[in-house]
Amino acid sequence: MQPFPTTAAMRSRMYAGRVVGLAVLAAVSVIAPAHAQQFVQQTGTRFPVQAEYTNQSTVVDIDNDGDLDIVWANGQGYSTQGAALAVRVYVNNGAGVFADETSTRATGITGWYRGVEAGDVDRDGDWDLILANDFNKRPQILINNGSGVFADQTSTRLPVTTMSSARAQFGDVDNDGDLDLVFCNNGTTRFGSGQPQLYLNNGAGVFTATSGYLPVGNVGEQMDILFLDIDNDLDLDIMLGTRASSPNQSRLWKNDGTGRYTNIATFPSDFSSYSYDAGDIDGDGDLDLIGINAGSSSTELLLRNNGTGTAWTNISTSITPNPAIDDNDSRFFDIDMDGDLDMVIGSLGARDRIYLNSGLGVFTESTTLMAAVSDATIDVKVADFDNDKRFDIITAQGESGAFQNKIYMNTTGPIDNRAPRVVAMDQVAPATPAAAQSVRANIADDMTSDRGFHDKGVTLNYTVNGGATQTAPMPWSGNNQWRGVVPVQAVGAVVVYWVTATDWSGNLGTGTSKTYTVPTPIDPADLDRNGVVNGADLGLLLGAWGPGSGPADLDRNGEVNGADLGRLLGSWSV
């Protein structure tokens, strides 16, 4: 195993600063509120014994059996390439006990994986995987056969592009109903610089590289990337986290609705981020952000959203304590089921920490909820692994220590009895009657991940002209967003629609309804769109006479001529 690099050049950490940070952490922790230990480490009875360099994980039901499995992104080497390692597939027995079934479910698949994420790329109803590869290697895409067995189909589905990538994410950037891909890209080395990459899906899970969709220019030391909707306009924006400071600081990019992004210049500068997580910390309906190690002197950077994503307030002093130590990842979740998002932070070389939210986005550490274990956490996830309706915690161990990933079971906390909330939903405004209408919804629950919350079904419900309720599935489409389609309806139909969502604990949430009416088709010959074809339209056609395309070129042959005149006269209003 590669030893943990201790030089300041490797981790940009000053030893003295870390000692001070740990001292502050110890001093503040003694005044934390008292709680019984809620999260009990049960690694020895629930996880296989391992000794592999893990970088990241994803939690997903790979075999559709109703429990959550784990896929680990493994690969040895911090700044220098080590040994290729297998992507590890841990299968849940339903009670939160895991078996390593890598040899039969991801046979022979090895690499230098920094990231793994799940998404249904071919819309066949199961979860496929994307693997972000380091050391100038090609990413890999694994296709699920429906029973949780994966085949590497990189050669037929991904562009032939190598990169040093720390993370990849799925999201439908252009609202066409399929999952696209975005990658961190540091060029030829992990700590170099490169142009982040966006791949578009053709609908069948085959991806094409884009040019000009993302802001142009290399960005140094990219550590994290995630989709999120910063302004609830139902388009997926992008947060790019970097380990470098200005001019290579982290970026926030806004989607114009077609999958083309522009930089938000007002986003605050950060310093040395390893990850970003999004969640509504103050209950105002928008996504706020935490950047791990992104504050000054390797502290956390907590940012409050103004609701439009154009102004972010630094409220890092709302985290107590906020020590200057080597933290690597975080997740928001409601530990005590009081209606606000609390937080767990994973640390390398120090103990992982749990913070309770006051309800206003003010976080105070509780030192008794979780055992004080100093290890090498570089990734953390929360999920209900034993189906007892309580959120548990797993940590990925890499860079140093025994390389044994860990699981902490929530043994005494309250059960999840809070339903998901529909935060935003598209207002359908049909311009073409003979078309299906897509509906996207942003949905919040009591946990966060890069795939939003773990759901057991999101449904688009609708009625037509007051009739019986009909339903359509809403597949996941990126972070906390799901998308469904109302089929084609007749002219004049009044459609009422709403979204229902069930979380992993079985809580059912119902959103408010909206309505649209299918319009009467507009005659193409009604050039002034006033509802009648008359002399005014004839004047417009004659004014456009000759070569050229435009509304008056009714037969779309590149010329306004007698054929178009005939079509207009044939539509003349009586």
**Res 432: pLDDT:** 74
Cα torsion angle, 443, 257, 281, 70, sign: positive
Q: Which of 172, 163, 312 is nearest to 252 (CA)?
A: 312
In this predicted model, what pLDDT tens digit does every residue of 102-137 receive, in sequence order?
999 999 999 999 999 999 999 999 999 999 999 999
In this predicted model, what pLDDT tens digit does every residue of 475-495 receive, in sequence order?
999 999 999 999 999 999 999
Question: Above 90 in pLDDT, residue 31?
Answer: no
Reduced to 3 states (helix: H, G, I; strand: E, B; else coil), residue 238 is: strand
**Res 11: pLDDT:** 47
When pLDDT is averaged across residues 517-521 and rounded to a whole number, the result is 90
**pLDDT bucket at 174, cuts 50 / 70 / 90:** very high
**Res 190: pLDDT:** 87
In this predicted model, what pLDDT tens digit does every residue of 447-457 receive, in sequence order?
999 999 999 99
Q: Are 352 and 395 in contact (CB under 8 A)?
A: yes
**Res 14: pLDDT:** 36
CA-to-CA dists, residue 5 to 13, 81, 220, 300, 494, angstroms: 11, 13, 20, 22, 64
What's the rounded Cα separation, in Å, for the pair 560 and 274?
60
Reduced to 3 states (helix: H, G, I; strand: E, B; else coil), residue 137 is: strand
**Res 10: pLDDT:** 43
Domains and CATH numbers, the chain: 39-410 (2.130.10.130), 421-518 (2.60.40.10), 535-571 (no CATH)
When pLDDT is averaged across residues 14-42 and rounded to a whole number, the result is 52
Paired strand residues for 345: 330, 353
What's the rounded Cα separation, in Å, for the pair 273 and 294?
4
**Res 36: pLDDT:** 67
In this predicted model, what pLDDT tens digit does every residue of 45-58 receive, in sequence order?
999 999 999 999 99
What's the rounded Cα separation, in Å, for the pair 314 and 301?
7
Give the number of residues written for the chain. 574
In this predicted model, what pLDDT tens digit does every residue of 247-293 receive, in sequence order?
889 999 999 999 999 999 999 999 999 999 999 999 999 999 999 99
Give the per-residue SS3 of 309-369.
Answer: CCCEEECHHHEECCCCCCEEEEEEECCCCCCCCEEEEEEEEEECEEEEECCCCCEEECCCC
Question: Above 50 in pLDDT, residue 17?
Answer: no
| CB neighbour list of residue 479: distance below 8 Å, 6 or more residues apart | 171, 226, 227, 228, 229, 236, 278, 450, 451, 452
Question: Above 50 in pLDDT, residue 22?
Answer: no
Mean pLDDT of the residues in the chain:
93
Question: Above 60 in pLDDT, residue 15?
Answer: no
Question: Above 80 in pLDDT, residue 29?
Answer: no
Give the per-residue SS3 of 106-129.
Answer: CCCCEECEEEEEEECCCCCCCCEE
Question: Above 90 in pLDDT, residue 246?
Answer: no
In this predicted model, what pLDDT tens digit does every residue of 402-450 receive, in sequence order?
999 999 999 999 999 999 999 999 999 997 777 999 999 999 999 999 9
Is the N-terminal amide bond of 247 cis, ω within 30° of 0? yes
pTM of the model: 0.89
**Res 7: pLDDT:** 33
Question: Above 80 in pLDDT, residue 13?
Answer: no
CB atoms within 10 A of CB 49: 9
